[in-house]
Structure 1
Amino acid sequence: MKRALSVLAAVLVVLSLFSGVAAAQETRSGETVVIEEGETVKGDLTAVAGTVVVQGTVDGDLTAFGGDVLVEGEVTGDADAFAGTVRVAGDVGGEVSAAAGTVVVSEDASVGALSTAGGNVAIDGTVAGDVEAAAGSVSLGPDAVVGGDLTYDGALNRHPDATVAGTVREGSPASPVPAPIGEIPTPPPWLGPVYWLLVNLVLGAVLLAAFPRFSDGVSTTARTETLKSVGVGVLALVGVPIALGLVAITLVGIPLSVAGALVFALLLWVGSVYGRFALGAWLLALADAENRWVALALGLVVVAVVGLLPYLGGFVDLLVLLVGLGALSLALYGRYGEAWNDERTTTA
């Protein structure tokens, strides 16, 4: 559910970018778009590419669709990105709005504010204003400085040296009614992970009960073709958002892009649960045991526990997602893609 909500948030980000696409003073596309060091783009820039790199200056707003988006130079306005990985290692004067698998604000980087949805969000630079992050893992490094409030949805890993000037809270903004002691009560840190564990358990149970053979096939693929599954998962996580962004550039393609994003959100959620199921099945196999229900519960618990660890938790969560998403894609192709190709061959 968390990933589904994250991608739904990504859809809203994409929709908000369409007006920027129409009004942008400059648009660049290709396999790689690079704003070289010393180069200045006057006005807003829209970039659609596999890799978008800003080493120089964008004197306006940046809108980027890509597999990887890297800001090493300066963006004087806002930076909106829809990509597999978004990394800010320079300066963004306005707000960074990012929907990505990984979002990083590096040490020595500076942004005005941060609003993001992703699998893993890591902040080790300076955010002058508020941070709103929905992710599997939200990490604040030792050099992280947040000048405003931090609102997060996911597992928070905060280094003792990280600084947050405002309020730290999980979920939606708290009620404006003040607490009796004058402070907003903070929920226990285990509440969020336990809630999502139960939600994923419900989805996993539905999948195993409704599609037992297919679910076993996905698990087997994940365990016997792990590297292939990871590769396909990376291609899906990076390629699908790019394809949806390209489709959405045209006005006619907006409804198709929105519908595709909703379907992709569901696949991300299902893939993440299947990844946990495959992990549990693999751990049981090490003990010469086999039980799909125990495997589901074991995989969910292991990932939830590891997810509480700083940095490692986010990496494991992303890896499990890639394996599950890739195995799910391979299984769907094996069931429907090959049959469709055979039908086309027969018709021809």
Structure 2
Amino acid sequence: MNGNLDAFGGNVFVNGRVNGDLNAVAGNVRINGTVTGDASAVGGNVLLAQGARVGGQLETGAGNVVLNGEVGEDVRVGAESVTLGSSAVVGGDFVYDGNLDRAEGSRIDGEVRQDSDLGVNVGFDGPLVPNWVGWVYGFLVNLVLGAVVLLLLPRFSETVAERATGSPLRAGGVGLALFVGIPILAALFFVSLVGIPLGLLVILLYPLALWFGYVYGAFALGRWALGLADSDNRWAALVVGLLAVSVVGFVPILGGLVQFFVLLFGLGAFALGLWGRYQRRRERRSDSDAETTM
């Protein structure tokens, strides 16, 4: 997209290109693509993935911050845990407050300095949000979405959970294909003038699909865990699943990977559930048409 991006939510995933600045407040912030300007993020977990790039400065306050990508200028980070992966590149100074774990192979061109009085301006008016606020906010927002879908679509939600736990490889494979393929599809739509409206629609629906996938993945995990204890309370499953996935997110690197896989399984199961529902409706319509002709 062209211009600055201000994002709020339970999860914020930046998978494409932002030609401007990024300001994000969420339970989880994951930058997989490119931000040409500065990036500011507050959340329970903040990840700059391998291959991702921030052209300007990166400022973040979070419970856990993992940097595996490239930052063109200075980095200022205040967090309980700060991890620099082996592929991390910082073109300027690296100023931090927290426990730093720096892997061999990471590169910092400027000064490395710890500042216990570090305050991070996240691009919005007002003080830095405490670390726990982002975590609680993300958990509650995801819990509300989960409660809404369980109330409105109880049978469909159970079907999605069964698909995720019954065929995890299939669900994960479909989720991965959609996670990678949908942005490519949107880019192809933008190639032609006729497809631009469809491309815009895909871009708008993509983050929503990821959000549903994450919540459904956590619900499926909770369903599976409670099933081991012979419990089938779907409300407890939702709370347990979201709480478990949120807590494990505090583990550097591993936590982000677990959350990503939960998203993939949930996204794939969600898509398979929608496809199954579409097929059943089509079959009923065909049977109805056949009876009418008779």
TM-score (norm 2): 0.67
Instruction: Give CA deviations for 1:233-275 in whole Å, capped at 9, x if unaligned.
Output: 0011011111111111222322211111112221111111000
Change (3 A) 1:242 1:131: farther
Any gaps of 5 or more consecutive residues in structure 2? 1-8, 21-30, 40-46, 59-63, 104-111
The counterpart of 1:229, out of the listed 171, 194, 200, is 171
1:276 equivalent to 2:218? Answer yes
Instruction: Give CA deviations for 1:208-250 in whole Å, capped at 9, x if unaligned.
Output: 0000000011011111111110000001101111111111122
Instruction: Give CA deviations for 1:195-215 in whole Å, capped at 9, x if unaligned.
Output: 100000000000000000000
Change (3 A) 1:260 1:128: closer
- C-alpha contact 1:104 1:121 (8 A) present in aligned 2: no
How far the C-alpha of 1:148 sits from its partner, in A, is 6.0
1:123 equivalent to 2:67? Answer yes
Question: What does residue 125 of structure 2 align with?
Answer: 175
Give the RMSD, CA atoms, in angstroms: 4.3
Equivalent position SS for 1:6: strand
TM-score (norm 1): 0.58
Question: What does residue 189 of structure 1 align with?
Answer: 131
Question: What does residue 100 of structure 2 align with?
Answer: 159
Alignment of 1:242-281 (within 5 A): 242-281=184-223
**Partners of 2:175 and 2:75 in 1: CA distance:** 28
Instruction: Give CA deviations for 1:249-306 in whole Å, capped at 9, x if unaligned.
Output: 2223222111111122211111110000000011101111110000000001001100
**Partners of 1:300 and 1:206 in 2: CA distance:** 14
Alignment of 1:86-125 (within 5 A): 103-105=49-51, 112-113=55-56, 122-124=66-68
Give the structure with the higher percent strand. 1
Question: Residue type of the partner of 1:228?
Answer: R
Question: Residue type of the partner of 2:100?
Answer: H
Change (3 A) 1:263 1:337: farther
Question: Residue type of the partner of 2:125?
Answer: S
Question: Residue type of the partner of 1:169?
Answer: V
**Partners of 1:102 and 1:342 in 2: CA distance:** 47
Question: Residue type of the partner of 1:284?
Answer: L
**Partners of 1:121 and 1:239 in 2: CA distance:** 27
**Partners of 1:254 and 1:323 in 2: CA distance:** 30
Equivalent position SS for 2:49: strand
How far the C-alpha of 1:314 sits from its partner, in A, is 0.5
Question: What does residue 219 of structure 1 align with?
Answer: 161
Instruction: Give CA deviations for 1:136-180 in whole Å, capped at 9, x if unaligned.
Output: x99533766463689xxxxx996344947896638x42538xxxx
Any gaps of 5 or more consecutive residues in structure 1? 18-83, 88-93, 151-155, 177-184
**Partners of 2:137 and 2:180 in 1: CA distance:** 28
Q: How many residues align?
A: 245
How far the C-alpha of 1:125 sits from its partner, in A, is 6.4
Question: What does residue 43 of structure 2 align with?
Answer: none
Question: What does residue 241 of structure 1 align with?
Answer: 183
**Partners of 1:157 and 1:295 in 2: CA distance:** 34
Change (3 A) 1:340 1:265: farther
Instruction: Give CA deviations for 1:300-332 in whole Å, capped at 9, x if unaligned.
Output: 100110001100110001000000000001000
**Partners of 1:138 and 1:161 in 2: CA distance:** 8
Change (3 A) 1:210 1:302: same
Question: What does residue 13 of structure 2 align with?
Answer: 6
How far the C-alpha of 1:124 sits from its partner, in A, is 4.4
Question: What does residue 51 of structure 1 align with?
Answer: none
1:147 equivalent to 2:92? Answer yes
